Amino acid sequence: MPGIGDNGRMPASHPAPNSETPLWLVPVTYGAVGGTQAADLLRYPPKGYRPIERRVRLGHGAERFEHAWMQTLTWGIQRRSGFRVRVIDAPPEVTDASYTPVSFEPDGTPIEPATLAADGEQVFSPEGEPLLRSRDTALLRLLLWPVDVPCRVVYVVDEPARKGFAYGTLPGHPARGEESFIVEHRPDDSVWLTIRAFSRPSGWLYWLGYPISRLTQAIITRRYERALTGPIADAR
CATH number of residue 182's parent domain = 3.30.530.20
- pTM across the whole model: 0.77
Number of structural domains, the chain? 1
Does residue 25 fall inside a structural domain? Answer: no
For the stretch 139-180, pLDDT in tens is 998 766 677 889 999 999 999 999 999 999 999 888 899 999
Domain that holds residue 90: 32-229
For position 83, what pLDDT does the model report?
85
Beta bridge partners of 22: 15
